[in-house]
Amino acid sequence: MYESILKTATGNPNFSFNLTTVSFPTLQILINRQEQGDSVVFCFMVGVALAMIPCAMISFLLKEKMDSLKHMQMVSGMSLPAYWISNMMADIVKVYIPLILIVMLSFIFNCNYPGVWVCFLVLPWALVPFTYLTSFLFNNDTNAQIVTLILNFLVCNILASTVYTL
């Protein structure tokens, strides 16, 4: 429309003009907010995944307690420290498997957050003993799984959201 008005106004039927638009550059503040939002989503997803791990552990511990498997091994000659240390080491190794997968997937999908891998290295050494200690509070594996899931979900996600907010 503007071109036809200018053709009439100038008297030149071959008159034309080109328009080029350039958007404003994205502000660094907006880029930082998007990265922070992505890190919150990453933290939430990893928190949900990590909250599931102790549920399987506590179920196995209570199943052993209900079936008196520890007692049978003690009667057979196994020492109590050997029983607990071997179970804890096996569970620590089991926890490292999903953690390694999480780290690999975060590198593949370019969710590289510096220092997170250090937290993942020390997580099993805190998660497994805590799960073992909380297993003494329960007699039923269903209740233990539910409470453990809720507790770990709250710790992983609610506290992470608090840290993000602060």
26: left (phi over 0), alpha (psi -120 to 50) or beta: beta
pTM as predicted: 0.72
Q: Domain map of the chain by residue range?
A: 27-165
Structural contact between residues 160 and 44, judged by C-beta atoms closer than 8 angstroms = yes
What is the total residue count of the chain? 166
Residue 1 has a pLDDT of 66
Residue 153 has a pLDDT of 87
Residue 22 has a pLDDT of 73
**Blockwise average pLDDT, block size 10, the chain, 166 residues:** 77 77 76 77 84 89 85 86 90 94 86 81 92 91 91 82 74
pLDDT, tens digit (0-9, with 9 covering 90-100), for 53-87? 998 899 888 888 888 888 888 888 888 888 889 99
Residue 92 has a pLDDT of 95
